[in-house]
Amino acid sequence: MTIKEIVKKESQKLKYITHIPAKEVEILICHLLDKNNIWLHINYNIEFTKEKELEKLVNKRATDYPLEYIINKASFYGETFIVEEGVLIPRPETELLVEKAVDILQKRDTTTKVVEIGVGSGIISVMLALLIKDIKIIAVDINEKAIELAKKNAKKFNVEDKIEFRLSNLYEEVLETDIFMTISNPPYIANNYKLPKNVKYEPSNALFGGEIGDELLKKIIENSYNKEITYLLCEMGYDQKEPLEKVLNTLNIKEYEFYKDYENFDRGFVAKLK
């Protein structure tokens, strides 16, 4: 059976799982053969010799198991990051959070110290390290597996010298007093929210933020304000603008803006705390 024939056959199993079933089968084939998409299409009519291995992967994907966990890769900000089960999969909307931070940091002409709360796979810290020349990042997470994965990505992109990783709940292990910016994509989903089946494979402690969902975000705002950090940038849930704005106003923070994601939902905020 040729690659073309096997794609047609196996993609039938994924037609109710994804809107691009054939493309996902191609991705799995490239993963198995360690080839890229250009090679695949040049060789679309050659004999495919790993039918059983591919069938196993497709059947796994057919259970709604995330493609990124199968191939251990995810694209973010034009780069390919390592991903592993037990750590949140990068989302495209988080690129907007990075862009907001870069806009502020590029105007600085001195070495800037940044804290990332909830480093996950390391996408935010690594991209900031790549895009900003004079930066020192303290990246924290409560998940030891996330810290180890983030270290792998920092090593992959050769930015280990710019990022210090710490196992920490929020600021508990961050005693520095000269932090310019904190950035975070924390858990912000309400505990009783019913997740889509594919998202249930991801770690709950990276998704659920409390009974309402915004509890952790409120704590990050208050802690950052008390630590006299200049800028705070956070991703948030689409329905959390009003309660978070209330917290900002209660703290008498005047300079802040909320931004929308690619689907025009409220998705995050930038606040100047001092």
**For the chain, domain boundaries:** 3-63, 86-272
Alpha-carbon span 148 to 257, nearest angstrom: 33
Contact 64, 197 (CB under 8 A): yes
Look at residue 257 and tell me whether its pLDDT is greater than 90.
yes
Task: Tell me how many degrees the CA angle 193-122-102 measures, rounded to the nearest 5.
Answer: 100
Give the model's pLDDT for residue 234.
98
Give the domain 86-272 fold: Rossmann fold (3.40.50)
Token pair listed for 250: 């209660």
pTM: 0.93
Give the model's pLDDT for residue 194.
81
User: Per-residue pLDDT tens for 127-175?
Assistant: 999 999 999 999 999 999 999 999 999 999 999 999 999 999 999 999 9
**183 falls in which pLDDT band (50, 70, 90)?**
very high
Give the model's pLDDT for residue 211.
82
Percent of the chain with pLDDT strictly greater than 90: 87
Count of residues making up the chain: 274
Q: Would strands 163-167 and 79-82 be described as parallel, antiparallel, or unpaired?
A: unpaired
Other beta carbons less than 10 A from residue 210's beta carbon: 16
Give the model's pLDDT for residue 248.
97
Alpha-carbon span 114 to 116, nearest angstrom: 7
Look at residue 193 and tell me whether its pLDDT is greater than 80.
no
Average predicted confidence (pLDDT) for the chain: 94
Beta bridge partners of 232: 182, 271
Minimal CA–CA distance to 183: which of 226, 103, 119? 119
SS3 call for 41: helix
Give the model's pLDDT for residue 147.
97
Average pLDDT over residues 225-246: 96
Q: Would strands 208-210 and 189-190 be described as parallel, antiparallel, or unpaired?
A: parallel
**125 falls in which pLDDT band (50, 70, 90)?**
very high
Cα-based torsion angle of the residue sequence 127, 128, 129, 133 in order, rounded to the nearest 10 degrees? 130
H helix and E strand count, the chain: 10, 11
Minimal CA–CA distance to 115: which of 218, 209, 217, 224? 224
Give the model's pLDDT for residue 212.
79
Give the model's pLDDT for residue 80.
96
